[in-house]
Amino acid sequence: MAGKPKLYYFDGRGKMESIRWLLAAAGVEFEEEFLETREQYEKLLQGGSLLFQQVPMVEIDGMKMVQTRAILSYIAAKYNLYGKDLKERALIDMYVGGTDDLMGFILMFPFLSAEDKEKQRAFIVEKATSRYFPAYEKVLKDHGQDFLVGNNFSWADVHLLEAILMVEEKKSDVLSGFPQLQAFKARISSIPSIKKFLQPGSQRKPVPDDKYVETVRRVLRMYHDMKAN
């Protein structure tokens, strides 16, 4: 029997959080090794584990996988969260890509100055409510089904729920004008594996704090303000 997937990253969200979400949605238990020192990171580099000298890195099925999208695609396909045919997979990729764009505005947020955070908060909410949420609201309304693609639970649903909750942390009532997404959020949150991941004590990470930012800066030697990688 293969061992549990092992995740190598910081003790915080970043790009690894979507991988945690997808594994949890699939009901897969996983282990984590948190990078806390530069020496840990250099050991991975010197050992040849980081193909492109970057984390996230996930050990799974005898592979040491890097590149977040590749890892997510593999997990989605392995656990039947990637549609039933090529067209459904294309739709899932398209929706995940849009959600990724929105998440990208949020991933850099903890690394900004206080002044820039306020500007970015407004920018995130504006983009969510004018570009991304209306698109998903229309998809759900037009096909009248419970899920985004093929009326089956998929990676696209997991990714969208993660993004919704991230934006709600910036503005709690951001879904007030989106009844389809409100219902979607309630449905997906009640799926047992998701519900479990949303409970206190799970491996879901909290909103990034100053300690997380300082650890990332120290390990990656980020000595000035820059976007999160």
Q: What is this structure's pTM?
A: 0.93
Mean pLDDT per 10-residue segment, the chain (229 residues): 87 96 97 95 92 94 96 98 97 97 94 93 97 97 95 97 98 97 98 97 95 94 52
SS (H, E, C) the chain: CCCCCEEEECCCCHHHHHHHHHHHHCCCCCEEEECCCHHHHHHHHHCCCCCCCCCCEEEECCEEEECHHHHHHHHHHHCCCCCCCHHHHHHHHHHHHHHHHHHHHHHCHHHCCHHHHHHHHHHHHHHHHHHHHHHHHHHHHHHCCCCCECCECCHHHHHHHHHHHHHHCCCCCCCCCCHHHHHHHHHHHCCHHHHHHCCCCCCCCCCCCHHHHHHHHHHHCCCCCCCCC
Q: What is the pLDDT of residue 138?
A: 97
CATH class of the 6-79+198-220 domain in this structure: alpha beta
CATH 1.10.10.10 holds for 86-190: no
pLDDT of the residue at 173? 97
What are the domain boundaries of the chain? 6-79+198-220, 86-190
